[in-house]
Amino acid sequence: MDYNAIATMSKPPTRFPQINSDTKAARLKRLRLVSRILDKAIPIPGTNAGIGLDPILGLLPVGGDFLGVLLSAYIVIEAARLGASQGVLAKMTLNITIDAVLGIVPVLGDIFDIAWTANESNIKLLEEHLQFPHRGNKANSWFVFVILAGLLILAIGVVVFAIIVLKLLLGALIGS
């Protein structure tokens, strides 16, 4: 009987294996780039502000905010893979939720989306965690699954809300 095989079968699989410093640095660099593209890719002349892909996508009816949530969720997934704690992931999810919920308000939501840079805030949270990784326990796979499921439900809710608003607007314009 192979006791080594039995011993390895009883160990739970590691969802997010340990990664080396070079890989962490490369991932963090990529996440910073994604964040900049989503939040501040196009600088506004004369200010420190910028417009990113997220507020631009928000202008697209129905699917824009949905895509914004999904792209922001990518940063959360990578943060979990980098060993972020449950607290950090929860704060990141809250930032995305605020961005999505307030971003669905026509016109005002788009202006808010320019000012509220959820992805940039999430990168700062991740960087702080990586500087002091022992402040919180690494999130387990179930917690990450629940957070991602919540973000997916949020993204679907944004689409449903946009469809309802479009139907109401069309009904008011057509008079049916």
Helices (H), the chain: 3-10, 21-40, 53-58, 63-81, 86-103, 108-115, 118-131, 141-174
- Of the candidates 71, 75, 68, 77, the residue with the CA atom closest to the CA atom of residue 143: 77
CB of 102 closer than 8 Å to CB of 91: no
91-123 exposure pattern, b = at least 16 Cβ within 10 A, e = fewer: bbbebbbebbbebbeeeebbebbbebbbbbbbb
Domain boundaries, the chain: 18-174
Structure token digits, residue 134: 């022992």
| Residue 103: partners with Cβ closer than 8 Å, 6 or more residues away | 55, 58, 65, 68, 109, 110, 112, 113, 116
pLDDT tens digits in sequence order for the chain, 176 residues long: 555 555 555 544 445 455 667 788 899 999 999 999 999 999 888 888 889 999 888 888 778 889 999 999 999 999 999 999 999 999 999 999 999 998 888 778 888 888 889 999 999 999 999 988 777 778 899 999 999 999 999 999 999 988 898 898 888 888 75
pTM over 0.85: no
C-alpha–C-alpha distance, residues 82 and 10, integer Å: 25
**Quick one: pLDDT at residue 137?**
78
| Residue 106: partners with Cβ closer than 8 Å, 6 or more residues away | 165
DSSP 130: H
CB of 58 closer than 8 Å to CB of 68: yes
Report the percent of the chain where pLDDT is more than 70.
88
C-alpha–C-alpha distance, residues 58 and 60, integer Å: 5
**Quick one: pLDDT at residue 63?**
85
**Quick one: pLDDT at residue 19?**
63
Single-letter amino acid, residue 105: V
